Amino acid sequence: MPADHAISASLTRTAQRPVLCALFIFFCACIGLPAQAPPAQPSAQSVTDAEIQQLVAAQQWQQVADRLAPVHPRSAQMDFDYGTALAHLQQGPQAQAAFLAGQRLAPRDPRFPTELAGIAFQRKHYPQAARYLCRALRLAPDDTYANDFLGTVYFLEDNLPAALKYWNHIGKPYLAEVRQEPIPRVSPALLDRAFAFSPAATLTLRQYLDSRERIGALGIFPQYQLDVRARDDGHFDAVFRNQERNGIGDTKAEALFLFLRGLPFQEVNPEYDDFHHEAINFTSMVRWDAQKRRILAQLSGPLHRSATLRYEFLTDLRNENWILRDSFTGNAPALASLNLRHEWLTMDVASYARDRVQWSAGAEISHRDYRNIVPGTVLTRPMLASGYQLKQVAQIGSNLLRVPEHRFTLHADASWQIARLWSASPQTFEKLQGGIGWRWFPQAHGGDYETLNQFRAGKTFGQPPFDELFMLGLERDNDLPMRAHIGTRDGRKGSAPLGRDYLLENWEINKSLYSNGLIAVQAGPILDIGAISDPGTALGSHQWLFDTGVQAKLRVFGEGVALSWGRDLRTGNDAFYATILRSTW
């Protein structure tokens, strides 16, 4: 055979070898001959629980991780041990994945959400840690570690009520000392009675809330904070940080501001707080507005030096010109007019012993008369009855629900008045009012956002005199605001809806824009919905009212002013208004 033919045959045989090999392997697979397989992964059965538990007991975390890493599938217990080992090895994401896998296998096991909370806590994701711990406590409410852990999370978020709620389950926090920064000038004995707690004892949530109610009722701390601070020995100190109001003001600037804060509204406010350091406070207002003159004086103080009961005497003198109209702007002819002179004296006692319930009861004696009356078609003779009047007043309020974890409070109140008027034709009437509202801080900590909502209703039985009617609108002497309905026109009252029965809902969101402890500014949207009626007369709104807009609040030295713009969604009227906030916010 020639050489080149031999070489060609050899190459042909060589090329055929891979094909023959492939056919041989295929044939072996078809007849079931054993083939080479990849090495199998360790199973849960190949790694015993006893072996893993010995490593866990010895805290051999690297060996635990190495033994369990290749195991698939793992049991819930193995996922827990594997996640624990990874957590100790500072491998947070891998540990979180292991705990989540174990939680899917054993959703009723509280250990998994507790460990997931620990990982979130290490990352300083406190809201996420709180959610995991709440889940763990739903599964095991008496878990001491989870209660302590969750209380600590809320404490670090400056949510002391929520921290106390969970710490109290395990007998924490134990107070070693109660401190005051700075030390107030009010009587130490009176302030001590305002604190519902004491040192060398556990501070409870109920004691904390009751203390805040009593301190606020003293009326001399426009700004204060009741804190708890941890000590090195594991106990805590209660710290009362406060800004106290004394006399006419601590500084000339504060005294001048408090006296003249109503000057844009043609009024001044002489005040004197904490007389004899006994939380006896005098407030007053003198208004020289030609259309609505007013002198008001109020004296309040602790009854028998109690921090839970307070007395109040109030006298109010008014001389007002009224022109009743359908609107504060545009073409709105006068429907009626009159001059009202009204003087009254009120005495009452109020209880602030508990955060859960507050009440007050008192009596009022008054006299009224009307002059320059043009009744038109809206004022009736019984409505314009003059003479002396005696009234009994009672009020109760309650914090129906507190959810400190979500910084939510639901409050309700009700008031009752019954009066008899001695006039040419003596008459009796009753007024009932009630309301329910909530306050919510949507963020886990801080006060950057605040949501307020309040629903109120009032009903009158019998025929009240004109000045006892309800008003829906913005007016500095009125507390039922519709913020696109101004109650005055050309300085005279009467341009907001009046009536004997009403429904009103006020809603607002406040965003904190600036705060330095002395000055605070908030702003946000507002929405008001209301209706008012007076059966048998032409008064009332005759339809539902809808107002929306924005509002800004400014607070200086604990006193505030509100600036609002509102739009009446029915008429399109715009209203710009400024008014003094009679209480702190």
Q: How confident is the model at residue 230 (pLDDT cuts 50, 70, 90)?
A: very high
At residue 536, the pLDDT reads 80
Radius of gyration (Cα) for the chain, nearest Å? Answer: 37
- pLDDT bin (cut points 50, 70, 90) of residue 46 is low
Confidence check: pLDDT of 54 > 60: yes
Q: What one-letter code names the amino acid at 96? A: Q
Residue 15 or 305, more confident: 305
Predicted TM-score of the model (pTM): 0.87
Q: Are 86 and 97 in contact (CB under 8 A)?
A: no
* For residue 368, pLDDT beyond 60: yes
Domain 49-168 has CATH 1.25.40.10: yes
The residue-averaged pLDDT of 15-42 equals 44
Calculate mean pLDDT across residues 199-214.
Answer: 96
In order, the DSSP letters of 455-478 are EEEEEEEE---GGGSEE-SB-TT-
* One fold for 49-168 and 174-243: no
Q: Please count the residues of the chain.
A: 585
Phi, psi values for residue 251, rounded to 5°: -130, 165
As a whole number of angstroms, the distance between CA 544 and CA 92 comes to 57
* DSSP bridge partners of 369: 341
User: Per-domain residue ranges for the chain?
Assistant: 49-168, 174-243, 252-581
* CB 369, CB 320: distance < 8 Å: no
- Examine the pLDDT at 482 and tell me if it is beyond 80: yes
HSE at residue 303, side-chain half, CA atoms within 13 A, is 14
21 pLDDT tier (thresholds 50, 70, 90): very low
11 vs 21 pLDDT, higher one: 21
User: How does residue 27 score in pLDDT terms, banded at 50, 70 and 90?
Assistant: very low
pLDDT value of position 28? 39
pLDDT score of 475: 94
- Range of 4-8, 132-136, 558-562 with top mean pLDDT: 132-136
- pLDDT value at 560 more than 50: yes
Look at residue 367 and give its three-state secondary structure. strand
Please say if the pLDDT value at position 292 is more than 60. Answer: yes
Predicted local distance difference test score (pLDDT) of residue 43: 52
Q: Lowest mean pLDDT: which of 111-120, 141-150, 237-246, 551-560?
A: 551-560
pLDDT band at residue 36 using 50, 70 and 90 as cut-offs: very low
pLDDT category of residue 35 using cuts at 50, 70 and 90: very low
Digit-coded pLDDT (tens) for 397-407: 999 999 999 99
CATH class of 174-243: alpha beta
Reported as a pLDDT band with limits 50, 70 and 90, residue 37 is very low
Mean local confidence (pLDDT), 299-318: 96
Tell me which architecture the domain covering 252-581 has in CATH: Beta Barrel (2.40)
Contact residues for 37 (Cβ-Cβ < 8 A; gap 6+): none
Is 554:519 a contact under the CB 8 Å cutoff? yes
pLDDT band at 29 (very low <50, low <70, confident <90, very high): very low
Average pLDDT, the chain: 90
Predicted local distance difference test score (pLDDT) of residue 250: 84
Range 440-450 average pLDDT: 91
Among residues 362, 431, 420, the alpha carbon closest in space to that of 390 is found at 420
DSSP string, 545-570: EEEEEEEEEEEETTEEEEEEEEEETT
Mean pLDDT of 435-446: 94
Digit-coded pLDDT (tens) for 492-503:
999 999 999 999
| Amino acid code (one letter) for 21 | C
On whether the CB atoms of residues 411 and 430 are closer than 8 A, the answer is: no
With beta carbons less than 8 A apart as the criterion, state whether 429 and 462 touch: yes
